[in-house]
């Protein structure tokens, strides 16, 4: 019987970029909303504020989810996986998680023929979310 | 209005290691079971066989989920996210997804004090799964 880690600090493994993967799931409906990355600082802020903060690899800075769009994620619970390199964030998503204005980023489904079909509608105009 | 990709081939972006992230979710209950990686070959096999096959980074080879343990994942549906670097696999998980014998790999929850508590029981003895 392997002993379980006692603290989050002990359990989480950051990769060679200093990042850990985070999957956001709506806590009550079970919808998988998005996947992003966190560094040590983003994780600490998320736990302290109970509002999800990621690390933006493209912008190279903290990404306080919803900071611009208002579509915040309140942290309800945080899980870490057996090898410590992935987190599951149980959140309460305000509005839409996807920058396209859809509830989840996973709005394209593969068809048997290798095609794609859209399985979620645009709920909010992205222009409204980002003011362009 | 951005045009959506028409095919899975067009939508999926493999990283510089040739990998794309895959989140496995039980299709009916919504449980997030595990996170792993796929290369082009693993994805093609998963779609062809409708049984989930990952790429094992540690072993450097295809990882036909359940090959040893019998705890297979039947593919029900496959989603790709807005930037094409993550997949959501809606699966029917036979038995347990985690090598520890728990239903999901996300069995440790963070406490407010930075500790961890176990939120899922061991359902199957790992010795039974892997014959050691």
The answer to whether residue A103 sits within a structural domain is no
Cβ pairs A/B, distance under 8 A: 120
Tens-digit pLDDT profile for residues B67-106: 999 999 999 999 999 999 999 999 999 999 999 999 999 9
Tens-digit pLDDT profile for residues A54-103: 999 999 999 999 999 999 999 999 999 999 999 999 999 999 999 999 99
The answer to whether residue A127 sits within a structural domain is no
B12: domain CATH number is: 3.10.20.810
CA closest to A30 among chain B residues: B30
Chain B partners within 8 Å of A12 (Cβ): none
Q: What is the rounded CA–CA span in Å between residue A88 and residue A38?
A: 12
pLDDT given for residue B1 in this prediction: 54
- Mean pLDDT of the B49-70 span: 96
The answer to whether residue B50 sits within a structural domain is yes
* pLDDT exceeds 80 at position B2: no
Q: Would you list the DSSP string of A73-103?
A: EEEEEEEE-TTSSEEEEEEEE-S-SSTTS-S
Beta-bridge partners for B91: B26, B75
Q: How many CA atoms lie within 13 A of B41 on its CB side?
A: 7
- Mean pLDDT of the A106-128 span: 95
Residues 18-57 of A with CB under 8 A from B: 21, 23, 25, 29-32, 34-35, 47
Q: How far, in whole angstroms, is CA A106 from its chain's centroid?
A: 12
The answer to whether residue A118 sits within a structural domain is no
Tens-digit pLDDT profile for residues B3-12: 899 999 999 9
Chain B partners within 8 Å of A23 (Cβ): 23, 32, 35
Helices (H), chain A: 8-11, 40-49, 126-130
CB of B88 less than 8 A from some CB of A? yes
- Mean pLDDT of the B32-61 span: 97
- Write out the residue range of the structural domain in which residue A91 sits: 12-98
Are residues A78 and B110, on separate chains, in Cβ contact within 8 Å?
A: yes
The answer to whether residue A16 sits within a structural domain is yes
Nearest-neighbour CA in chain A from B72: distance (Å): 18
The answer to whether residue A88 sits within a structural domain is yes
Nearest-neighbour CA in chain A from B107: distance (Å): 7
Are residues A86 and B78, on separate chains, in Cβ contact within 8 Å?
A: no
Q: Are B33 and B90 in contact (CB under 8 A)?
A: no
The answer to whether residue B3 sits within a structural domain is no
* pLDDT exceeds 90 at position A2: no
pLDDT given for residue B90 in this prediction: 98
Residue B98 tokens, joined: 């985690």
Confidence of residue A1 (pLDDT cuts 50, 70, 90): low
Chain B partners within 8 Å of A80 (Cβ): 106, 108, 110, 116
* DSSP three-state, residue B24: strand
The answer to whether residue A22 sits within a structural domain is yes
- Mean pLDDT of the B17-43 span: 98
pLDDT given for residue B132 in this prediction: 62
When the pLDDT of each residue in chain B is averaged and rounded to a whole number, the result is 95
pLDDT given for residue A131 in this prediction: 82
pLDDT given for residue B101 in this prediction: 97
* DSSP three-state, residue B99: coil
Nearest-neighbour CA in chain B from A49: distance (Å): 11
Q: Are A11 and A5 in contact (CB under 8 A)?
A: yes
Confidence of residue A112 (pLDDT cuts 50, 70, 90): confident
Residues 95-124 of A with CB under 8 A from B: 98-100, 102, 105-110, 114-116, 118-119
What is this model's ipTM?
0.96
Q: What is the rounded CA–CA span in Å between residue B66 and residue B58?
A: 17
Q: How many domains does chain A have?
A: 1
């Amino acid at each position: 019987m392997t002993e379980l880690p006692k603290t989050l600090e002990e359990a989480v493994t950051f990769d060679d970029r200093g990042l850990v993967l985070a999957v956001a799931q709506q806590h009550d409906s079970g919808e998988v909303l998005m996947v992003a990355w966190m560094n040590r600082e983003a994780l600490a802020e998320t736990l302290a504020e109970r509002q999800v903060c990621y690390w933006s690899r493209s912008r190279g800075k903290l990404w306080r989810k919803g900071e611009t769009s208002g579509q915040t994620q309140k942290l309800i619970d945080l899980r870490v996986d057996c090898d410590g390199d992935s987190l599951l964030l149980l959140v309460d998503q305000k509005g839409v998680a996807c920058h396209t204005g859809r509830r989840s980023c996973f709005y394209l489904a593969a068809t048997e023929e290798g095609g794609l079909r859209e399985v979620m509608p645009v709920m909010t105009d992205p222009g409204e979310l980002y003011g362009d």
